[in-house]
Structure 1
Amino acid sequence: MELRHLRYFIILAEELHFGRAAERLHIAQPPLSQQIRQLEVELGFQLFYRTKRKVQLTEAGQLFLGRCQDILQQLEQAIQLGQQAHRGEAGHLRVGFVGSAAYNVLPPILRAFRSQTPTVTLELQELTTDQQLRWLQEGRIDIGFVRPPVKGSTIHSTVIFQESLIVALPESHILTTQTHVATKSLFQESFILFPRSLAPGLYDPIISLCRQAGFSPQIAQEAIQMQTIVSLVAAEMGVAIVPASLQNLQRQGVVYKTLQEETPTVELALIWRVHPSPTVQRFLEIAGSNWQPDPVNQDCQQG
């Protein structure tokens, strides 16, 4: 039995007329009659009562019709799902991201992706850069938002966002009265930093900025999440130099200030494995052409 036999049967059951059914199928009437007889022989039961004046479904044919329609409907759905998966519009996508990405590129990209590929299930996992590199190689995520640099012959990457640095101060700090803060005025401060081992692409520009101002920062505390760093600043544990988009994270007790000097830029990059799936390719297309950064106030604000 072939699928075309089922289609012939369904069309004839809908028309109950061999001539009209043959016309819909774009075949001659005698081959259609022959195909239906062969199907009945293979099934072992009669599908139609035939007279010179009419064609009528048997009781067995009526029951068989319902199941055949279900089969062809499921087949159409399977074909559509396969086509969507081929276009990267169906399936499951596991996305890793550093916490700071949630305050710039991540929300608009996710909105665009969900709007254009609503049948793809997204699984999000907040991870440090080194964790994402490991998870990507292990196949535990499909794509990631990380702080460069990225090393590894099996990993591809592209920078999608660059931004300057600002300083986060406790609201009681004397420097909060200034419009812009000179980096050198922070030389006696205790700093809260992200560990270098987890994100050298963020740690190194901060250290470089301080050294250009004539000092090495005194590190009082390290934290692996940006939210934690800002919370420690609010607790007056120290100050922090952070990416400018972090001012989107408003936290009571924290004031963000721009720095007087031109700062190094810090980057965010997308990473993925070689030979990406169609869904990953679709995500990369949307990320590269359809996102716009959420607005960040030009003047840093108090949280």
Structure 2
Amino acid sequence: MNIELRQLRYFLAVAEEMHFGRAAAKLHMTQPPLSQAIQGLETHLGVSLFTRTTRSITLTAAGAALIPEAKKILLQAQALPQLVQRAASGESGHLSLAFISIADYSILPPYLRQFRKLHQDVRIELREATSDVQLDLLEKSEVDAGLLIPPIPKKLSDILAYQKVLSEPLILAVPEAFAKRKNAGSLHSYADLPLIIFPRKIAPALHDTILGCFRAEGLTPAIAQEAIQMQTIIGLVSAGMGIALVPQSVSNLIRPGVVYHALPNVAASVEIGIAWRKENTSPVLKSFLALLRN
């Protein structure tokens, strides 16, 4: 069936005027081609849209049913240019974004608020995942981008692009019962307490940086627990299971029984960045990356 938008416009004009001559004048055309277009539409649809007499025309039941649908189709067609232009500019569409739990306490909320303010018609799909899981998702093209802890493995360097977003210092999270020790901002003050840390597999850079802080102080911590979520690590500190070195933004996570201390003698930080497939040309992704750069 090859129905043209032109035929629908002609049909609505005739249905409004209920007269072929007046409809033709309204359309700035002669009556014969108008009549032929309506007949062609009726042939395509397999029904009569008008009952014709020598003096008048009336709509058939089929013609009356077509009016609202024809209007809807023409309105949709009229909106197409704006729709595709908004999609091409990244103002509408879909963004699937993975993120590590640390990002939820620092960069993710403010960036999402700003992005949604500028791109209200973009549907955002969020997925919390550790850095190693994100790399697998990106390799399989299951997400558009991921906020993770570098580095990007060499085997993925050809297909993934990376952009640094944030670097923040590490601070100490200690159980409240031990928080008032002398020199609270020194790792030596808590050398007798075990360490709670991420497994090296999921964040090797962060894991090595944390242990490097202890080595720099001449300490070798006893690892009590490993946990993959920042909420779990802080929860274990709250339970008195040990201490943890965490990014500064995690202090926004207020838990009873946990006290955060700055470490003025420890020059260590954690970096968070965004990774995406180099081949991904999504305008929505480009808009999000531009926001992060700015």
Question: Given the two structures, how large is their TM-score scaled by the length of structure 1?
Answer: 0.80
Q: Deviations over 1:94-153 (max 9, x none)?
A: 321111111001111222233333343333222110011011212332221101111212
Do residues 45 (structure 1) and 48 (structure 2) align? yes
Does the C-alpha gap of structure 1 residues 24 and 189 become closer, same or farther in structure 2, counting only changes over 3 Å? farther
Does the C-alpha gap of structure 1 residues 190 and 39 become closer, same or farther in structure 2, counting only changes over 3 Å? closer
Q: Could you tell me which residue of structure 2 aligns to residue 98 of structure 1?
A: 100
Q: Could you tell me which residue of structure 2 aligns to residue 293 of structure 1?
A: none
Do residues 220 (structure 1) and 224 (structure 2) align? yes
Q: Tell me by how many angstroms 1:226 deviates.
A: 0.9
Contact residue 169 and residue 176 of structure 1 kept, 8 A: no
Does the C-alpha gap of structure 1 residues 176 and 126 become closer, same or farther in structure 2, counting only changes over 3 Å? farther
Alignment partner for residue 210 of structure 1, among 190, 209, 214?
214
Classify the secondary structure of the residue corresponding to 1:12: helix
> How do residues 50-65 of structure 1 correspond to structure 2 at under 5 angstroms?
57-65=59-67
Q: Deviations over 1:171-203 (max 9, x none)?
A: 11154565x612444444321111122102212
Which letter maps to 2:7?
Answer: H
Which letter maps to 2:252?
Answer: N
Classify the secondary structure of the residue corresponding to 1:72: helix
Q: Tell me by how many angstroms 1:225 deviates.
A: 1.1
Contact residue 49 and residue 58 of structure 1 kept, 8 A: no
User: Structure 2: which 5+ residue stretches go unaligned?
Assistant: none
Q: Could you tell me which residue of structure 1 aligns to residue 151 of structure 2?
A: 149
> How do residues 242-253 of structure 1 correspond to structure 2 at under 5 angstroms?
242-253=246-257
> How do residues 62-101 of structure 1 correspond to structure 2 at under 5 angstroms?
62-75=64-77, 82-101=84-103
Does the C-alpha gap of structure 1 residues 24 and 146 become closer, same or farther in structure 2, counting only changes over 3 Å? farther
Q: Tell me by how many angstroms 1:58 deviates.
A: 4.6
Alignment partner for residue 275 of structure 1, among 243, 268, 279?
279
Q: Could you tell me which residue of structure 2 aligns to residue 28 of structure 1?
A: 29
Q: Aligned partners of 1:268 and 1:243: how far apart in 2?
A: 10
Q: Could you tell me which residue of structure 2 aligns to residue 261 of structure 1?
A: 265
Q: Could you tell me which residue of structure 1 aligns to residue 8 of structure 2?
A: 6
Contact residue 183 and residue 260 of structure 1 kept, 8 A: no
- Between 1:69-78 and 1:194-203, the stretch displaced more is 69-78
Q: Aligned partners of 2:245 and 2:80: how far apart in 1?
A: 52
Q: Aligned partners of 2:225 and 2:257: how far apart in 1?
A: 18
Q: Could you tell me which residue of structure 2 aligns to residue 163 of structure 1?
A: 168
> How do residues 113-192 of structure 1 correspond to structure 2 at under 5 angstroms?
113-151=115-153, 152=156, 153-173=158-178, 175=180, 181-192=185-196
Q: Aligned partners of 1:288 and 1:97: how far apart in 2?
A: 17
Report the RMSD for the aligned CA atoms in angstroms: 2.9
Aligned length in residues: 286
* Percent of matched pairs sharing the same residue: 42
- Between 1:78-87 and 1:278-287, the stretch displaced more is 78-87
Question: Given the two structures, how large is their TM-score scaled by the length of structure 2?
Answer: 0.83
Which letter maps to 1:112?
Answer: Q
- Between 1:239-248 and 1:183-192, the stretch displaced more is 183-192
Q: Aligned partners of 1:226 and 1:6: how far apart in 2?
A: 60
